A and B are shown apart, each in its own frame.
Chain A
């Protein structure tokens, strides 16, 4: 497993925050959701999910909590904090701006 590049890492943070903004999830469910929403475009190995989650938690953007699940088990659920929500809004806008700009430039060269 290779280390994700900086671009992918940053994108991964954004994706994780966005998905968690919809509902609190535990790690495995999050990985499933990621696969669903991005299809095969973003290849995220399960392994690289946990460093990203723990980093976001240490930065105060997401909050982790152990909650009981089915069959008497428990799982660590991650949810967005208000700090994370604010960061997501800013970062998503940022991403939109940059991607619009980049695709605009790409379209220019293609013509």
Chain B
């Protein structure tokens, strides 16, 4: 149609859309007028009035058809038919409100859950990061062949070599986590803030412009420089969004820093807990920057557009291997690995997220199959009506369209409900799932809505097309031919329902197995013994600022006074002071050799152990048992502290069959004060193992005396009653010693351990919820199919009873009929789950994909539910009154 014609016809189109009733009335009048004139014409030709009328009608033809054909030429005819189908759909659905509400609720739940997880997946895995050309940003890590970590943090000296000697990347930047005590400028409380120290080129590499002020410059990135950039959240929260702070001063660890700029509000890299940024070298020990074994930094690199990632990484790898060869006896990695920045941020959540998305997909499929199953049953009831209409000339497409209207309505209502549901669910999930990266906000957007609509249509197609195709078509005419009593025309449809059911049960089994395995892992994690007192224990952290506590003596004095005061508090059973308490994470390790052993062969890996600093009363306060030797005393401090306590694991791994007491560990990273060549530490005790993180194997650990003069400390207090009641009194004790010292992370041990389990518990709970829902859906399906079969076979069963069939035989017959698809589904599901569970093997703890306990539990549950679902209809069938059954039509 040409443009002018299109424009000209707009009023006609509008009229056809909005004044359809008037158009219809006009058409009627037009036809009446035509008839009237024809009758007059006939009368004038000499016919009798009756003859004239009949002749005029004959000449006009079928008036109803004429009307339909004329209406079909109007615009929007398709829309009109669609509305018509919808009206019929709404009427049929509202005749069975129970069915409709259940079906809509099922679809809403399924579509809602799927949309919610898709929202998270999109934000975390799919949406590009808000940086310039994010596809070319990668993280580069060191990699120790055969090491525990696949992505090992980088040593600064290695980074400087990579940056200066390779050419595959446009630029490389480096950052590491830091933390400061932020003093109150206007009488606010002091605060300990997480921070990042980043090289001056980092923000320009990412393509981030400060919202206020300026970026770091090369000149800022020097030892002793005192400039800082604030994140937007700190700027808003602490400085009330006052732009005057730019160029002003704040105090970090008691030292004045100039505020260079403020980062934009959307910038939440590496995560949203970070409050401020300082230049990478500003507070780093220059010696450390020369070390190839000070692993604690992260490297971001931007790939050159004309270079492949593989060749760029190969260049870096070659440089790293040279470094490794140069420092054979130091822990310098042989290799480097990289991953995209996006993947790096998604990190550990990728697997559980994919798992949950698949679980939700399965549930959605089950929901669709279930609605399809219910619609097949409804279709069966309308079999005769459809057959008659088709015999009278209704087109198959029309009949299918009409039946589809129902599933479209169910899915559309379910979809709208689902989108609303997913809004709330997404918010909840983002809040509960602590591991989700926060560099991007998680929210529902256009793409998500489009996804939900696509789901809706797919669901409507799956749920509607199968039943619609099965009830229409050639075979349906048999419904008219065969006598109703035999019910033979329903055989193929019953087969369809049974195969739908088998698929449904199969998928349910996969979900159940997955949920069972995750649940068992979670239980195992919960039951894991951390190796120390966990209940009634409160921990808090502080860090003594270097300018005020500038000698080891001052630091020890504070720590010992605090310990003495806390131990004297009523209700306190014990107090321990250490750098890192069990369950809080890996933190640092150091390589060591046993001095009394022969030297290692060149190229052999040095053993390493976790490094912790503890006070003399630490082990007894936390209930960590002494295996042999003795604990530290208050005498082991500062220059007299060259003693070490090791864990049982270290002895078993590296000193098996020897008496460890009195042996010396040679720790290259821990030279004696003022004697850089003395690195030997005498073992004076062996203690029980603790877990650095629940779910990980215990690792060899070395304990050094905290009275060396450490400034960072975690205070753990074992109390007689509810530990949270002690949080305020403890902070008061600290404030009475130093009112400017901020305290952070006031948590009970149970909270710390619970936090590390929250992800395992979340995935287990969610997948379990999906599985249970699927089980309910499948059992409803089973019940429905068998009830339907029973009604279908009422007269047959009546005849059997009349001929003398035993009632328990009938019960058995019907039961087996229902259980057969359940058993097929079970077999199918078990086979599928063998394949499926292997994919998330790495998420399991203390169990394996073929866990017999879980499998037998799933089989038993499914069989029990299946028998229950089948029992009621089968029982009803066996109790039939033969006379009544035979009388039913």
Contact = CB atoms under 8 A, between A and B. Distances in A.
Interface of A: 1, 26-29, 31-32, 45-48, 50-51, 54-55, 57-60, 66, 73-76, 81, 83
B60 interface: yes
Contact of B27 (A1, A32, A50, A58): A50
B30 A76 contact: yes
A57 to B, nearest CB: 7
A58 B26 contact: no
Given A58-B16, A58-B74, A83-B8, A50 B30 contact: yes
Contact of A46 (B29, B59, B69, B73): B59
B62 A59 contact: no
B72 A51 contact: yes
B36 to A, nearest CB: 8
Nearest to A32: B41
B34 A27 contact: yes
B5 interface: yes
A51 B77 CA distance: 13
A83 B5 CA distance: 7
Interface string B646-689: 00000000000000000000000000000000000000000000
B41 to A, nearest CB: 8
14 contacts: A46-B60, A47-B60, A47-B62, A47-B66, A48-B61, A50-B27, A50-B69, A51-B70, A54-B74, A57-B12, A58-B9, A58-B16, A58-B74, A60-B8
Contact of A50 (B5, B41, B66): B66
Contacts of A31: 34
Given A28-B38, A60-B5, A75-B33, A47 B73 contact: no
Contacts of A29: 37
B33 A28 contact: yes
B26 A1 contact: no
A81 B65 CA distance: 28
B505 to A, nearest CB: 51
Contacts of B9: 58-60
A28 B37 contact: yes
A47 to B, nearest CB: 3
A50 B70 contact: yes
B4 interface: yes
Given A54-B74, A60-B8, 17 more contacts: A27-B34, A31-B34, A46-B60, A50-B31, A50-B69, A51-B69, A54-B27, A57-B12, A58-B73, A58-B74, A59-B5, A59-B9, A60-B12, A75-B30, A76-B33, A83-B5, A83-B8
B81 interface: no
Contacts of B38: 28, 46
Interface of A, helix, strand, loop or mixed by DSSP? helix
Interface in B55-69: 59-63, 65-66, 69
Given A45-B59, A60-B12, A54 B65 contact: no
Nearest to A56: B73
Contacts of B75: 58
A54 B73 contact: yes
A70 to B, nearest CB: 10
Contacts of B65: 1, 47
Given A51-B70, A54-B70, A58-B74, A45 B33 contact: no
Nearest to A45: B61
Nearest to B33: A75
Contact of A1 (B4, B12, B33, B62): B62
Interface string B1-42: 100110011001000100000000011011101101110010
Interface residues of B, number: 31
Contacts of B16: 58
Given A58-B9, A60-B8, A83-B4, A27 B66 contact: no
Nearest to B67: A50
B33 A27 contact: yes
A75 B33 CA distance: 7
B748 to A, nearest CB: 77
A73 B33 contact: yes
B22 to A, nearest CB: 12
A27 B70 CA distance: 13
Question: What 6 A-B pairs come out closest when comparing CB atoms?
Answer: A47-B61, A55-B73, A28-B37, A1-B61, A60-B9, A51-B69
A59 B4 CA distance: 11
A58 B30 contact: no
B585 to A, nearest CB: 74
Contacts of A51: 66, 69-70, 72-73
A98 B69 CA distance: 29
Nearest to B23: A54
B61 A27 contact: no
Nearest to A82: B8
Contacts of B30: 27, 50, 75-76
Contacts of B70: 50-51, 54
B37 A76 contact: no
A61 B16 CA distance: 16
Contacts of B1: 59
A76 B31 CA distance: 10
B69 A58 contact: no
A58 B5 contact: no
Contacts of B74: 54, 58
Contacts of A47: 60-63, 65-66, 69
B60 to A, nearest CB: 5
A59 B61 CA distance: 25
A32 B37 CA distance: 11
Contacts of B61: 1, 45-48
A74 B66 CA distance: 21
A60 B15 CA distance: 13
A94 to B, nearest CB: 16
Contacts of A58: 9, 12, 16, 73-75
Contacts of A28: 33-34, 37-38
A72 B70 CA distance: 27
A54 B23 CA distance: 11
Contacts of B63: 47
Contacts of A59: 1, 5, 9
Contacts of A50: 27, 30-31, 66, 69-70
Nearest to A74: B33
A45 to B, nearest CB: 5
A75 to B, nearest CB: 5
A47 B134 CA distance: 67
Nearest to B30: A76
A26 B33 contact: yes
Contacts of B41: 32
Interface string B42-60: 0000000000000000011
A26 B33 CA distance: 10
Contacts of A73: 33, 36
A54 to B, nearest CB: 5
Contacts of A57: 12
Interface in B325-375: none
A55 B77 CA distance: 12
Contacts of A81: 8
Contacts of B59: 45-46
Contacts of A46: 34, 38, 59-61
A47 B58 CA distance: 10
A32 B42 CA distance: 12
A57 B16 CA distance: 11
